[in-house]
Structure 1
Amino acid sequence: MTRSRTWATAWAVLRLAMAAVTVTAITAQLSKSIGTAAELGRDVTTTITNFFSFFTILSNALAAIVLVWAAVWYFARGRRAVAEPPALAVALACASTYMIITGIVYNALLRNIELPQGSAPIPWSNEVLHLIGPLFLLADVFVGPLRRSLPWRSLWAVVAFPIVWVVYTMIRGPLVANPVSGDPFWYPYPFLNPNTPGGWLSVIVYVIGIALAIVAVGAFVVGWGRRTGTADTDAGTATRAAASVPSEALSE
């Protein structure tokens, strides 16, 4: 079913819909954060920068961009293709991995943490970004059409961004004052804050644990694609064969 043109078209529409919902959720939460900061006299610029320093926001923004890319490619060129282009395949693997990790980490570690007054997220937006979106990208791994089989070295591309994000977070953390609590530091998630009883040891343990989880999820995503997707050689052969078929036959 996932290789039929009808399914591919339907899933492309669903990708566009999920991207639209995700962008709406991000925009709504950002608007609320800015409004609250302005109302309470907090630094708005820092609030915006902090907002886009959350892995959740970055992973959802990337997912929305990649889902639109995948849908636009399908409607523009994909209806006669047998596999998505390599760059899109890598981007989908990255977005899927980050969103799955977002869902796991939030629901396992962060869902029941009480936030400071005025910092609570919009409930529906929170569920879109931390539950619905991750579940959709997980489903996309299994049923997304025209998937390409990637080489194992693609896993390096998957893990690159989380490494950069952690380095950025740990360097920026002690340089930025928390606009909510007034602390002379700011970290997007409590398990990355070394100014806690657990200190740096706790942070290192969590970073290693999440890093291993990212590698494991990334390996699963790439491995599943290798199991069910179309290899480069197969795609090239099929594309040449399709090009030799008259356009009247393709429309039947």
Structure 2
Amino acid sequence: MTTSPTTASPIRRVVLVGRAIIAIAILAAVIGQLITSVAFWTARGDVSIPLDLLNFFSFFTIESNVLAMVVLALLVAAQLGRPRIGRRFDVLLLCATTYMVVTGIVYNALLRGIELPQGATLGWSNEVLHLIAPLWMLIDWLLTAGKREVRFADLRIVAIYPVLWLVYTLLRGPVTLDQASGRSWWYPYPFLDPATHANGYAGVAVMCLIVAATVLLGAAALVAYARSRRRSLAPRTTDAARA
């Protein structure tokens, strides 16, 4: 039996509204920062705006937020009774939540106060993408974890995208022009730039290992919580109520 939004519990209604608001906020934040950055690059006289755009969408922050926005939109649709969602979606939600939580941790621990090379930073957009949206994804998971059918084996899936992103970033960085400084290399985050480390690539490797450990430990904690909550709840959860 499908639970309609009008008969849903207060918590489900709050979650529904929160998901819709955060999805819209992420969309507005990405567009707002993009518009601000394009204006900044144009005023700076950059030769290649397409290169700037590729760099913009090469940020893990942007990519993880776009994924979170899509996942939240699907959750809203599922909660309104549109598509059916199952375990594969639960794994996708685990990935999105992990990436967003790690984005929030890494930014606020290492990068807050540092001007990142995507152009002039739009203050409210920065807070949405690095603080508000990651916090919501964590809260959403904590509130609905009992409905998530996830396993520790899913950590292998969670790790795929960050590994591919790191490989892409480290291979592309040395051959990408930094139009702001004129340097022949460009990295989205300072801790991935060998020039910022006394030990060069060894320092980058250490940071990569730290971030990888954060991803895996974060995902493991989310899975452990979901499995604990799932065991404590009644087993009868229909697909329609899983959102």
* TM-score bucket (shorter structure): 0.7 to 0.9
Partner of 2:3: none
1:41-80 correspondence runs (5 A): 41-42=45-46, 43-76=48-81
Structure 2 counterpart of 1:88, which letter?
F
Tell me how large the CA RMSD over aligned residues is. 2.4
Partner of 1:20: 24
Instruction: State TM-score, norm by structure 1.
Output: 0.84
Percent of matched pairs sharing the same residue: 39
| Matches of 1:77 and 1:228, distance apart in 2 | 26
Equivalent residue of 1:195, what SS? helix
CA deviation after TM superposition for structure 1 residue 115, in Å:
5.4
Larger RCO, structure (CA 8 Å, separation 6 or more): 2
Q: Is the 8 A contact 1:155 1:219 kept in 2?
A: yes
1:85 aligns with 2:86: yes
Structure 1 counterpart of 2:55, which letter?
N
CA deviation after TM superposition for structure 1 residue 201, in Å:
1.0
Q: Is the 8 A contact 1:93 1:218 kept in 2?
A: yes
1:124 aligns with 2:128: no
- Structure 1: runs of 5 or more not aligned: 243-252
Partner of 2:11: 7
Partner of 1:198: 199
- Which runs of 4 or more aligned residues in structure 1 lie more than 3 Å from their structure 2 counterparts after TM superposition? none
Structure 2 counterpart of 1:176, which letter?
T
Q: Structure 1 pair 115/143, CA: closer, same or farther in 2 (3 Å)?
A: closer
1:72-221 correspondence runs (5 A): 72-76=77-81, 84-114=85-115, 119-144=119-144, 147-196=147-196, 197-221=198-222
CA deviation after TM superposition for structure 1 residue 239, in Å:
4.0
- Structure 2: runs of 5 or more not aligned: 1-7
| Matches of 1:234 and 1:77, distance apart in 2 | 23
Instruction: State TM-score, norm by structure 2.
Output: 0.87
Partner of 1:225: 226
Count of equivalent residues: 230
Q: Structure 1 pair 22/175, CA: closer, same or farther in 2 (3 Å)?
A: same
Q: Structure 1 pair 145/202, CA: closer, same or farther in 2 (3 Å)?
A: closer
| Matches of 2:32 and 2:113, distance apart in 1 | 22
Q: Structure 1 pair 141/227, CA: closer, same or farther in 2 (3 Å)?
A: same
